[in-house]
Amino acid sequence: MKKYRSSVGQRIYPVEYSSMTGNTVPHVLNSFISLDGGDDYVSRESGNRNESTYQDNVGSPGSDEALQGQDFPFPTVLVQDNVFGRARLHYGWWPSSGLYWSKGLLTLDISLHCWQGDDVRGFDTDPTKPLTGGIQTTGNYPGRARTPEELMADMDKVLSFCPGTKKINLHASYAIFDEEKPWVDRDKLEPKHFKKWVDFCKARGLGADFNPTFFSHPKCDPLTLASPNEETRKFWVEHGKACIRISQYLAEELGQPCTMNIWTGDGFKDVPADRKGPRDRYKASIDEILSEPYDFKLVKPCIESKVFGIGVEAYTVGSAEFALSYAAFNREKCIPLMDNGHYHPTEVVSDKIPALLAFFPEIALHITRPIRWDSDHVVLFDDETKEICKEIVRCGGLDGRVNIALDYFDASINRISAWTVGFRNVEKALLSALCTPHTALKELQDTNQFTELMVRQEELKTLPFGEVWDEYCRRNGVPVDGAWFEEVKKYEQNVLSKRI
């Protein structure tokens, strides 16, 4: 950042974020004179535009009300006018109204999935068993969590690197058993088997989401809720009902709604002789599960689809059409969930979000990174992640209409880093979307100014968003980019490498 000389006392004053908060902000920033090119005016936009200085002033994101305080939700933006033309010293050219949030401080809620830490093994069956249900974890990087205590310690480390408000996302297979609460099978699970997770969340101010575990179990024949074997189907229906009760418990104890996702890997490897029968049984099973009493304001059951998986390449019972139709006809008791790895590779969930929000008041997302199939690679700050988050922001998703969770697992790299990279990238994409002048861009689209729309959208890509992200991290008390990975390496050396 350039240095400026204040016109008050003619002293040199370096402009840094640490000095851009509190009562000194208006006095310091309104009196800057450039040291480099004559007496240049540097503006600070805080909701009141100074049109006499220049058009299209830039500004801190936020509502006018939020910007009238002594501190601001994001870094104040400086612009310098000199003989060489306007120079952006920081970020963007935004109007002071029409931005997409109304609170001074943002809380970007994301649910952190527990299964990245132990390669989807869980604690209720043999941890060396192969995964089933069409999913697969590849790699054998050292340091996999083997116990609830190790998994919680690893999640603590990840949470310390991630800004924003967090929830955790649990699978039923992560029930914690001990002498007082001995092992039971999945159809007999009770809230008490998740009390230690509740204690973990309460101590950290976290909410929790939940998932029945319809895979990697001897009772998969290989079907579960769609099985023609009534004993098998009944076992899994009872498991789903138990998970409804557990989700209600989590929501009541933690004071936050619990999204409970129903997904199975039911399907066939080759061309089936009967496509409708399994779907009729699946529908009946979900009906039975959702007959268990629950408060829909606290428990949000979801129906998640998938296009195919390993071993179920030819036919998936819970297809996109099935899942969406079920949610549409049962709006009073469930919501749709989309996983962006569960569609054909040419489909994009970013386009599906506004389509669903035109009909549903609330939806849920699992954000992952598919490579040619549902490979569940670590989420990157890539185009589709950015587009997904733009649609979340533009459609009012941060006001409670979109429940966001992560869903990926990579055992080929350090798991703490995998968790952290994915979480921070989704937060980056949300923040980047919040720093985008959607109202101005929408006006260009609505008035058929498509050439300028393309130009403006492309110009936005090179604005220095990294500085805004770093300030967001600082204000959330977590490391900026470039500062957290050294801690991961120390944790690997001191903790993970000792897990043999």
What DSSP string describes 101-168? Answer: --SSS----EEEEGGGTTTT--SSS-TTSPP-SS-------S----SHHHHHHHHHHHHTT--S-EEE
Closest CA to 260 of 364, 356, 348: 364
DSSP 499: -
- Of the candidates 125, 152, 123, 25, the one whose C-alpha atom is nearest the C-alpha of residue 76 is 25
Catalytic residue among 167, 193, 342, 390: 342
Annotated catalytic residue 306: yes
387 is catalytic: no
- Of 291, 293, 292, 235, nearest to 264 by C-alpha is 235
Any catalytic annotation for residue 304?
yes
Catalytic annotation present for 183: no
**DSSP per-residue codes, 327-385:** HHHTTTT-EEEEETTSS-TT--HHHHHHHHHTT-S-EEEEE-B-SSSS--BPP-S-HHH
Q: Are 320 and 339 in contact (CB under 8 A)?
A: no
The single residue of 193, 283, 306, 352 carrying the catalytic annotation is 306
- Active-site residue 56, yes or no? no
342 noted as active-site residue? yes
Our answer to whether residue 374 is catalytic in this structure is yes
Q: In the block, which residue shows the tokens 């590849």?
A: 138
| Distances from the Cα of 251 to the Cα of 132, 248, 294, angstroms | 29, 5, 11
User: Active site residue: 253, 266, 374, 391, which one?
Assistant: 374
Among residues 263, 419, 469, 484, which one is catalytic?
A: 263
> Which member of 209, 266, 339, 362 is catalytic?
339
- Counting every residue written for the chain, the total comes to 500
Write down the catalytic residue from 45, 118, 376, 471. 376
Which residue is catalytic, options 304, 391, 410, 471?
304
Q: Do the bridges between strand 335-339 and strand 363-367 make them parallel or antiparallel, or are there none, so unpaired?
A: parallel
Q: Which residues contact 426 (CB under 8 A, 6 or more apart)?
A: 110, 367, 379, 385, 389, 404, 406
Q: Is 71 in the active site? A: no
Active site residues: 263, 304, 306, 339, 342, 366, 374, 376, 407
